[in-house]
Chains A and B, each alone.
Chain A
Amino acid sequence: MTQQYRTPTGGHITRDTALSFEFEGTLIEGYAGDTLASALLSNGVHHVTTSIKFGRPRGIAAAGSEDPNGLIQITTPIPEPMQLATTVELAPGLSAHGIPGQGTLPTEPDPARYDTAHLHVDLLVIGAGPAGLNAALEAARAGARVALVDEQPLPGGYLLSTPCMIGGANSTEWIAQTAAELAARAVIHLQRTTVFGLYDDGLALAVERRTDHRGSDAAPDSLRQRIWRIRAIRTIVATGAHERPIVFADNDRPGILLAGSARTFLNRFGVRVGDSVTVFTTNDSAYSSAFDLHDAGVHVGAIIDSRLVIGTEWIEGAKIRGIPLHSGSVVTGTSGDNRLTSITLRRFNGTSFGTAESYEADTLLVSGGWNPAVHLYSQAGGMLRYDERLGAFVPHREVDAADVAASRSGTTFVPHREVDALRRPLPRSHEKFVPHTGVDGLAIAGSAAGKFGLREALDSSHKAVREALVDLRLAHSPSRPPEVEEDRDHTPGAVLWFVPSDDPHKLTTHFVDMQRDATVADIAHAISAGLRSVEHVKRYTTIGTAHDQGKTSGTVASGIVAEISGEKMSSLGTTRFRPPYTPVAFAALAGRARGHLFDPVRVTAIHDWHIAHGAEFEDVGQWKRPRYYPRNGEDMHAAVKRETIAARNAVGILDGSTLGKIDVQGPDAAEFLDRIYTNIMSTLKIGSIRYGVMCGVDGMVIDDGTVLRTEEDRFLVYTTTGGAARVLDWLEEWLQTEWPELRVYLSSATEHLVTFPVVGPRSRAVIGELFPDLDASNEAFPFMTWRDTKLANIPVRIARVSFSGELAYEVSVLSWYGLELWTRLIETGAKHGITPYGTEAMHVLRAEKGYPIVGQDTDGTVTPQDLGMSWVVSKKKLDFIGKRSFDRAANRDDTRRQLVGLLPDDPTKLIPEGSQLVTIESLDHATVPITMDGFVTSSYDSHALGSTFALALLVGGSTRLGEKINAVVNGELLPATITNHVLFDQEGVRRDG
């Protein structure tokens, strides 16, 4: 195609860079600087897609992100569902097609990168139109740290669509000069960046599109989008306004678009939207569009104005150009299949219609007035009020006109005060420079504040920035907003929501929300159904729920509800605006937190050794723990069997470094631990170790582990792997909030120490050989004690504890020496058959001994007594956390579940963990619900027992030893005998070797 609708000159496009792109399979040409929409229109293509429900043809209806119609799917270079033709920049390699309301997710992976950046500024200005540019410039001149953020590729906003004189220059020059000065003053100026949400304490979130405009020239793995988290002490919202359509019959045909948007296409993109244009308006602003188009050589067939009284200059302007003006008239219908061909107009006095006249037209420009873009202001909690004059919702707090007048006549000088204070980090307490809260410190300026004239927009921006500078205690010299001509247009017009008829139920082609194919008739039906709330009507009709989130339809829908129901607009209110302002890609919000950065991976000091020796890993919290070490093609079962045999018959070694370790110090450390643990820790002797359980205040087990007394006022507390952080938090909470008088200090030592249990009958030999200074005999080094020794010059601590029932020495060193220690243990143990084992073998060994794992054999509803550990609950202590809860009624229930062992009748059958236990003898004729007596928490195949076995929590379990119970497995009953939870070496003879 030939861009036959391109003007010969003008527009902010690069005419020497032609770009071809594909739309609906056709190769088309546009220019760099075009949007997909402007490039299509330059080739006369209005029809972009069909509607979701009725399949009606739809075209470009606006020039920006408010367009409800121009939905497209991008297929290359980066496939992306549901974009607007008006917001996609033309780029090399672009191909796209229209979509009827649903996008298609690409199936190939997204190779691009996304990240997040943080920014802290004095003033954030959102929107680089005239109001925003002016505010940023004034603030920068006063020395403020400023960020200016704008969603378009180019700064200028309204000025790009509306060439004029400003500050003594033409608007293009003024934009360039201003941008240059902002750059010189180190303002952080982000274009192609949309602030999509305003949050607490001056936080704005924005998304920057960094590479899409480069199309296929950008590397596939480039940093495509960036989320900016901008924390500002003051914020000025200068986001402009959206034009409002008028709803009439068949108002949805391609070729019907907003009047201001047509002006944008003409002046910013050098595109004539049609050959034969008619204008339908309720206000002055559309006249400028009509005149600009006429002056660019477009035939403007008529201006239809719903008002009877129209300003003389507009009447004259139309007359000079020979454009017929129909005052007091409205459009009552349109024709055309895939493009508008004609319109029908009638005189309308508010109640009755005159006779119909038809006009040929391929394009109809519509203006029903303007809605300030108050989305961000509302999101931040700003209240809106309905302005009868504008027919729009505006910020409740307005810039006071009198103040602006004063600022024009001369300014109050704010003396220089502690400007440097601003450069310091944010201070404690509520001084001036803490970022603002909600709408405090948030100003709204320009047409976003309902100041639609350029002059009043600049005035409001001037006022807003001056207030911000006062708040920031920044000195600024007297200044005035840039001089501009008196405002001619954007004076409020008539408020006309829709062209009515006797029965609104019949207005089935009066489209209110085009993307949802929702009409005035739908609203009328909702009201007839008894609905009064706008929220209900919205949900009934689905108006405002589509991609544009009702940017053009929201206020109009409210107006129509008001009109049909006879309610006042002000009492109906508007629905709350919710973030994001425009859609944001999931991947952008996910940022770097994907794959292995989704959550930190924690590994022990000897992780590389585990990898080198073929370990299979298990996720335990954030840790990667070796689960087993298969050799020569072993499966898990074979490997675990080999590992457990080694530990029971020779010697095994485990990397237990992930266990939580907390260094508890201070004169009151013993007293503190007495209050935390269910048993007594204060009587523990230096050099000794005690096992302990801690409970929540509700008396339920939350963690367990061993405690080493290392000094009179110092303990090393071991926690479970998964509980380490939680337990430290728990201890700190009690220490700081309940017992601040206790002199105790807590530090995590989890990462500092590695701990390697050396387990099995030959462990004494290994330890004895590697640590010749240590007497590892049972007499010199008894069970539940610890000793310090050295490996060369490395300090080593060895503890005689056992989580397997075997003779065991847990060897700890600083993590730096972890690999050294581990390899020496392996080397020394080689001749004894030392075998590294993983968590699975560890589980078999501990379960054979009936040692529970908190979180596996408990679920937050289990007491120490339920675990058969009454011995760990002190009867002597007056109190400890959880003690009082043991006396509650539920704790005396004979229906409590207690930890037991299970031996399946068939020793080759493994009862799956999680299996439920029942007493019924057959499932064949059982009716649900079937009573469950408990469930299996741990289950393994034990070489030592020569059988499978399980641990289970069973109702009244401790009184049922020796009885039979059935586990339900795949719909079959698997009989087992209930046993004590300690199944192996009940006498505990093995632990001393």
Chain B
Amino acid sequence: MPMTKPRTPGAELPAHPTFLWESPTPKKRYDVVIVGGGGHGLATAHYLVKNHGITDIAVIERGWLAGGNMARNTTIIRSNYLWDQSTALYEYALQLWEGLEDDLEYPILFSQRGVLNLAHTLQEVRDSHRRVEANKLNGVDAEWVDADGVRELCPLVNTSRDIRYPVLGATYQPRAGIAKHDYVAWGFARKASAAGVHLIQDTSVTGFLTTGNRVTGIRTNRSDISAGRVALAAAGLTSTLTDTLGIRVPIQSRPLQALVSELLEPVHPTVVMSNAVHLYVSQAHKGELVMGAGVDSYTGYGQRGAFHIIERQMAAAVELFPVFARAHLLRSWAGTVDVTPDASPIVGPTPYENLFLNCGWGTGGFKATPGLGVAFAHTIATGTPHRLVAPFSLDRFVSGRLVDEHGAAAVAH
């Protein structure tokens, strides 16, 4: 039979490299042990190699590599946060995203299709202006667009005045976009593995070995592993680890649900987020609509959420995008997001001098991946917090110097 050419745009994703990573037997000791083989753990390993020449590293993953939130997020990348500290970190990450395909030599499908954050009330308009103006002065591409501007950028959005919460405008970050999450994680993993980093899967960390105020290694369900330094990149499971050391971390692990539709011909050119109706939606490279909702209300590690949240999200989707009425929910799932009292992450040293903390990213973890990787690697390698993560230390909850992204910003995602 003659093989005809592909006729469906986006049907074919770029091929993966012929080799990804080794699955070595763990050694007894490493200079650095990273707990958590998700995006953050893998990126940190990569930048420890690249920026600090440290290669004697193990990344310990309890399941399959990048199978936690990295596999479950909705892949939105943007840097238009409210406060200077957040913007600095996420904008640094965004600049790294822009060169990441070359750095990793992997087609991560970073598509800078722009992100719209809709405003539906006068207060949201004020908050949006405030954020846009702050973004501009922080060097972030940001602009305010009115309802007509929203319609031009994304004709699907219902900008008529007669919906329940009419769209009054939006903030727009043109350089924001989406990337292919598996490809990103695998890109980091491949580079790290090639540099000699041991990626150890199916291994659960059960506790730590300590002497005085030093951590000397980790306990796992397979064997103990000694470590010069230990870095935590375990997201929602962080507190179950730090609890064993008596370190309290103010995170709460909550389900966050997402879903996809069937594959559809390209209709949605950008990313649209709306806090007022709890929705964010993009169309992925293959054509599926990818959507997320608000965080479920209560603590849960089960990687599933309540369906009424999905139903509410569908209502919001059809309200804002009437043409989605006959799209179909194909699959829904949930990740476990670690939320903090001020909706900002916690990164930095701990009372144990060679144990480093990285958690509390809530819904921001994916977009921060390369930036966090650089900053956390620096923190681990030098023992002092990188300037970009210094404001996000644990002690801000004692001093009260929070970085409160709840207030006026588009909090979610």
Q: Which residues from chain A sit less than 8 Å from chain B, CB to CB?
A: 50, 52-57, 78-82, 100-107, 109-110, 197, 199, 205, 227, 250, 253, 335-337, 517, 525, 528-533, 535-536, 539-540, 542, 546-547, 549, 578-580, 583-587, 589-591, 593-596, 598-599, 601, 618-620, 698-699, 855-856, 859-861, 885, 888-891, 893, 912-916, 918, 928-930, 932, 935-937, 968, 971
Contacts and interface: CB of A to CB of B under 8 A. Distances in A.
B328 A585 contact: yes
Given A53-B11, A578-B331, A888-B400, A585 B325 contact: yes
Interface string B79-104: 00000100110000000000000000
Contacts of B264: 81-82, 102-105
Interface of A is mostly: loop
Nearest to A539: B182
B332 interface: yes
Contacts of B19: 528-530
A885 B326 contact: no
Contacts of A580: 329-332
A885 B400 contact: yes
Interface in B1-48: 1-13, 16-23
Contact of B322 (A54, A110, A915, A928): A110
> Which of A78, A227, A529, A699 has the most chain B CB within a 10 Å cutoff?
A529
Interface string B285-310: 01100000000000000000011001
11 contacts: A56-B3, A82-B262, A82-B264, A335-B1, A533-B65, A583-B328, A859-B127, A914-B126, A915-B129, A929-B87, A932-B134
A535 B134 contact: no
B146 to A, nearest CB: 13
Contacts of B13: 542
Nearest to B67: A535
Contact of B311 (A549, A578, A591, A929): A591
Contacts of B10: 102
Given A100-B7, A101-B263, A205-B307, 16 more contacts: A55-B5, A82-B328, A103-B262, A528-B18, A532-B23, A578-B332, A583-B330, A595-B319, A598-B319, A860-B407, A861-B407, A885-B400, A914-B127, A916-B130, A916-B134, A929-B84
Contacts of B21: 530
Nearest to B277: A598
B265 interface: yes
A698 B8 CA distance: 55
B408 interface: yes
Contacts of A971: 136
Interface stretch (B115-123, B232-240, B370-378, B381-389): B115-123
A530 B399 contact: no
Interface of B: 1-13, 16-23, 64-65, 67, 71, 84, 87-88, 120-123, 125-134, 136-139, 163-165, 182, 193, 201, 261-265, 267, 277, 286-287, 306-307, 310-312, 314-319, 322-333, 398-402, 404, 406-408
Nearest to A722: B123
Given A102-B8, A106-B326, A932 B137 contact: yes
B16 to A, nearest CB: 6
A253 B2 CA distance: 12
A76 to B, nearest CB: 13
> Which of B6, B133, B138, B306 has the most chain A CB within a 10 Å cutoff?
B133
A79 B326 contact: yes
Contact of B130 (A79, A80, A935): A935
Contacts of B11: 52-53, 100-102, 517
B326 A590 contact: no
Contacts of A52: 6, 8, 11, 263
Given A859-B408, A928-B138, A930-B137, A914 B130 contact: yes
A447 to B, nearest CB: 24
Contacts of B323: 105-107
Given A101-B8, A889-B400, A337 B326 contact: no
B18 A589 contact: no
A601 B87 CA distance: 36
B314 A590 contact: yes
Nearest to A587: B325
A916 B137 contact: yes
B328 A620 contact: no
Contacts of A913: 125-126, 129-130
3 smallest A-B Cβ distances: which pairs?
A914-B129, A928-B139, A890-B400
B1 A928 contact: no
A856 B129 CA distance: 13
B6 A53 contact: yes
Nearest to A547: B262
Nearest to B127: A914
Contacts of B329: 580, 583-586, 589
B267 A105 contact: yes
> Which of A105, A593, A893 has the most chain B CB within a 10 Å cutoff?
A105
Contact of A50 (B7, B120, B136, B326): B7
A55 B7 contact: yes
Nearest to A888: B400
> Which of B201, B262, B265, B406 has the most chain A CB within a 10 Å cutoff?
B262
A595 to B, nearest CB: 7
A889 to B, nearest CB: 4
A853 to B, nearest CB: 9
A106 B287 CA distance: 15
A860 B121 contact: no
A529 B265 CA distance: 31
A508 B263 CA distance: 24
> Which of A56, A598, A891, A913 has the most chain B CB within a 10 Å cutoff?
A598
A179 to B, nearest CB: 30
Given A105-B323, A889-B399, A589 B163 contact: no
Given A109-B322, A914-B133, A915-B133, A855 B123 contact: yes
B35 to A, nearest CB: 19
Given A53-B12, A542-B13, A591-B311, A586 B164 contact: no
Nearest to B9: A102
Contact of A589 (B314, B400, B406): B314
Contacts of A619: 120-122, 165
A100 B18 CA distance: 28
A698 B164 contact: no
A549 B331 contact: yes
A546 B326 contact: no
> Which of B16, B126, B319 has the most chain A CB within a 10 Å cutoff?
B126
Contacts of B330: 547, 549, 580, 583
Nearest to B333: A578
B4 A55 contact: yes
Given A80-B326, A536-B65, A583-B329, A54 B20 contact: no
Contact of B328 (A101, A584, A916): A584
Contacts of B23: 530, 532
> Which of A197, A699, A912, A916 has the most chain B CB within a 10 Å cutoff?
A916
Contacts of A81: 262, 264, 326-328
Given A197-B307, A337-B1, A929 B138 contact: yes
B64 A56 contact: no
Nearest to B313: A589
Contact of A586 (B314, B399, B401, B407): B314
Nearest to B307: A199
Nearest to A935: B130
A937 B315 CA distance: 32
A532 B63 CA distance: 12
Contacts of A542: 13, 286
> Which of A78, A82, A589, A890 has the most chain B CB within a 10 Å cutoff?
A589
> Which of B1, B19, B128, B286 has the most chain A CB within a 10 Å cutoff?
B1
B17 A105 contact: no
A167 B277 CA distance: 55
A888 B342 CA distance: 16
Nearest to A938: B126
Contacts of B404: 859-861
